[in-house]
Each structure stands twice: as structure tokens, then as C-alpha cells.
Amino acid sequence: MLSKILLPHRFQKFGWILLLPFAVLLFAATYSGFEFSWLNISSAESQGGISDFFDPDKENFSVEFAMIGVFLSLFLIAFSKEKEEDEYIQKLRLDSLLVACYTHTFILIIATLMLYGFGFLEFMGYNLFTIQLIFIGRFKWVLYKQGQSTLAF
């Protein structure tokens, strides 16, 4: 049943290809001030209430573009079928998702107790990726270890 709602395997490859450039763009846009000029808001485009929220001369959506790219890449990786999808793989997916949710919650509680102000806000921005990253990491690790154990016999 679960495999009916998963994306085809080729989407996973596409996600891996997109992840590195978008992650590098996110890092560069966040910490080095890199911006794509075509993602600027111009005065003509900002009508109505938008100009109240943004300074059109300074607002650029390069960070948001990069975040969407990282989210999309991780989504494609996490929710695409493996080459051979069976009930055991589905169980691993569910177990990995559960571990990711537990870990995400634990990290969030610790950060809430230890971080304040802008540090907490910055952490929350990156915390958006933790469920997907932990899920992918654990799922791929268990698949890798399972592959090693079957090769040993």
C-alpha cells in the first residue's frame, strides 16, 4: 500500500543531484550574502500590503529559493521508491520515520532550553530539515548494514 504513494525511483536520483547545489547556495546566501539579482523584489512588483513588510530595495529571495530547493531535494530522496521495494523496506521506512520524529522532538526540547534570541531563531530555521535528514540517514544506514549482512552469508 505504501509503495503506491511513493514516487518512482528516478526521482530519488534527481533529488541527490539537486541537493548539493541547493545546499551550497543556502550556505552562500545565508553566510556570505550571495544573492541572485533576478530574485529581488522591485517597487513595481510590490503592491498593496507587500511593501509594508519588505523594503523593495533590499529584499531578495535567494535564501528562500535555496531552502525550497533543499526541502524539495530531501523530499525526493526520502519519498522515492528503492530499486526493490518490498514489505521489509516499508517497515524500515516506518521505523526510520519514527526514529526521526523522536530525535527531532528531543533536539527541539534541548534547543528550547539552551538557546535564546537570534540563536534560537537560526536554529529553528535549520531544524526544519532535521526530520528529513535523520530519516534519510537512518534509512540509508540500515539498508547499507542490511546489505553488508546479506553479503557475509
Q: Does one domain contain both 72 and 26?
A: yes
Looking at 64, 82, 100, the residue that finishes a domain is 82
Residue 41 pLDDT:
72
User: Is the model's pLDDT at 149 over the cut of 60?
Assistant: no
Domain boundary among 82, 111, 144: 82
The two most distant CA atoms of the chain are separated, in Å, by 68
Nearest to 139 by CA among 105, 84, 95: 95
| Average pLDDT estimate for 58-67 | 82
pLDDT in tens, 13-59: 999 999 999 999 999 988 888 787 777 776 555 455 555 555 555 67
**Is residue 150 scored above 80 in pLDDT?**
no
What is the spatial distance between Cα 41 and Cα 53, in angstroms, rounded to a whole number? 12
- Total structural domains within the chain: 2
Per the listing, cell 530547493 goes with 69
Percent of the chain with pLDDT over 90: 51
**Which of 49, 82, 115 is where one domain is finished?**
82
HEC string of the chain?
CHHHHCECHHHHHHHHHHHHHHHHHHHHHHHCCCCCHHHECCCCCCCCCHHHHCCCCCCECHHHHHHHHHHHHHHHHHCECCCCCCHHHHHHHHHHHHHHHHHHHHHHHHHHHHCCHHHHHHHHHHHCCHHHHHHHHHHHHHHHHHHHHHHHC
Please report which confidence band the pLDDT of residue 101 belongs to, taking 50, 70 and 90 as the band edges.
very high
Distance CA 92, CA 86 (A): 10
Contacts of 130 (CB under 8 A, 6+ apart): 100, 103, 104, 107
Same domain, 145 and 94: yes
Q: Are the CB atoms for 98 and 72 separated by under 8 Å?
A: no
Q: Give the pLDDT score at 55.
A: 55
Domain that holds residue 108: 86-153
